[in-house]
Chain A
Amino acid sequence: MIHPSAAITVALFAWTASTPARIRIETPRDGARPASAYIGIQGTGPAGSAVELLDASKPVRTVRPEADGHFECVLHLSPGRHRIKARLAANGSPFTSIEVTMPANSPAPIRGAPYELLQTADILLSHTPGSEQEELDAARYTHAALYLGPDAEGTPMVAEAVTMERTAAGNPLGALPLERTLIWRGGAAVDIYRLRDPLPFAQRDRIAEWARRRVTEDSAFWSVTEDFGALFRAWLLWDQQRDQPRDKAEFNRTLEKMAALKVSPDRLNCSTLVWQAYWQATKRHIDLSIPNRVTFGGLSGRMSTRFLNRLRPYLVLPDTFALTGKLYKVNGA
Chain B
Amino acid sequence: MRKIICALLPGATAVLFLAAADGPAPPTVALWGITNLASRMPPQLTGGRVARGSLVRITGWRLGPPGTAAASKKLALRSLAGSSVEIRQGAHAFAAWPVMVSQEEIHAVIPPDAPLGNCDLVIIHDGQESRPSPLRIVESEFGAFSENGHGWGPGAIRNRDGLQNTLSHPAHPGETVRLLGTGLGTGAASLEVFAGGKPGAVLAFRPLAANPGTDEIEFELPEDVPEGCYVPVQVRTGGGISNSVTLSVSRQGEPCSNSSPAAAHENLPGRSANISLIHLELRILLGDRSKADFHTDLGYADFHARAPENDPNPIYLFPPPGSCTTYTGVIRTNDLFRPLETFRAGRSLDAGDIIQVAGPKGERKITRKNRATPLYTAVLGGTTPLPMRETLPLFLQPGEYRIHVPGSAGLAPFDAAMSVERALRWKNRNRLSTVDRAGGTAIEWKAAHSDDLIVITAMNAAGPGDAMAVCFCAVSAAAERFTIPPYALANIPPTEPGQNNLPLNLLFVSEIHNTPTAKPAPGNLDALTLSSLSAVGRTVTYR
Contact = CB atoms under 8 A, between A and B. Distances in A.
B13 A246 contact: no
A163 interface: yes
Interface in A236-278: 236-237, 240, 246-247, 249-250, 253-254, 257
B286 A233 contact: yes
B20 A236 contact: no
A87 to B, nearest CB: 31
B392 to A, nearest CB: 14
Contact of A225 (B16, B62, B462): B462
B290 A246 contact: yes
A240 to B, nearest CB: 8
Interface string B285-310: 01111111000000000000000000
A170 B331 CA distance: 19
Contacts of B18: 107, 168-169, 179-180
B464 interface: yes
A228 B336 CA distance: 11
Contacts of A230: 500-501
Interface string A63-106: 00000000000000000000000000000000000000001011
A164 B60 CA distance: 11
A250 B289 contact: yes
Interface stretch (B150-158, B180-188, B380-388, B449-457): B380-388
Contacts of A35: 17, 20-21
Given A107-B17, A220-B464, A247 B502 contact: no
B502 A224 contact: yes
Nearest to B462: A225
A106 B17 contact: yes
A132 interface: yes
Contacts of A135: 337
A240 B389 CA distance: 12
B290 A237 contact: yes
B461 interface: yes
Given A223-B465, A236-B292, A163 B332 contact: yes
B466 A223 contact: yes
A1 to B, nearest CB: 60
Contact of A229 (B287, B289, B332, B502): B502
Given A223-B465, A250-B287, A299-B387, A232 B17 contact: no
B504 interface: yes
Contacts of A106: 13, 17
Interface in A167-219: 168-171, 177, 179-180
Contact of A224 (B25, B332, B386): B332
Nearest to A169: B61
B21 A163 contact: no
A226 B13 contact: no
B536 to A, nearest CB: 18
Given A180-B18, A220-B464, A170 B61 contact: yes
Interface string A144-170: 000000000001000000011100111
Interface in A1-60: 35-36
A278 B284 CA distance: 38
Interface residues of B, number: 47
B28 interface: yes
B286 A225 contact: no
A108 B501 contact: no
The residue in B14, B28, B289, B463 that gathers the most chain A C-beta atoms within 10 A of its C-beta is: B14
Contacts of A302: 387-389
A314 interface: no
Contact of B287 (A107, A227, A247): A247
A300 interface: yes
Interface in B1-60: 10, 13-14, 16-18, 20-22, 25, 28, 30-31
B334 interface: yes
> Could you say which interface size class chain A belongs to?
35 or more
Contacts of B286: 233, 236-237, 246-247, 250
B190 interface: no
B334 A103 contact: no
Contacts of A250: 286-290, 500
B430 interface: no
A165 B389 contact: no
Contacts of A141: none
A161 B502 CA distance: 21
Contacts of B61: 169-170
Nearest to B496: A226
A105 B16 contact: yes
B503 interface: yes
Contacts of B290: 237, 246-247, 250
A226 B290 CA distance: 20
B387 A300 contact: yes
A230 B501 CA distance: 5
Contact of B504 (A36, A165, A225): A225
A293 B18 CA distance: 38
B72 to A, nearest CB: 30
A278 to B, nearest CB: 25
Contacts of A246: 286, 290-292
17 contacts: A103-B17, A106-B17, A132-B334, A165-B333, A165-B334, A170-B25, A179-B14, A179-B17, A225-B462, A225-B502, A225-B504, A226-B463, A228-B502, A237-B286, A246-B286, A250-B286, A250-B500
| Those 4 A-B pairs whose CB atoms lie nearest each other, nearest first | A229-B502, A35-B21, A107-B14, A247-B290
Interface of B: 10, 13-14, 16-18, 20-22, 25, 28, 30-31, 61-62, 284, 286-292, 330-334, 336-337, 383, 385-389, 461-466, 500-504
Given A35-B21, A165-B334, 19 more contacts: A35-B17, A105-B16, A107-B14, A107-B17, A165-B332, A165-B333, A168-B18, A169-B61, A170-B25, A179-B18, A224-B332, A229-B501, A229-B502, A233-B503, A236-B286, A240-B383, A247-B287, A250-B500, A302-B388
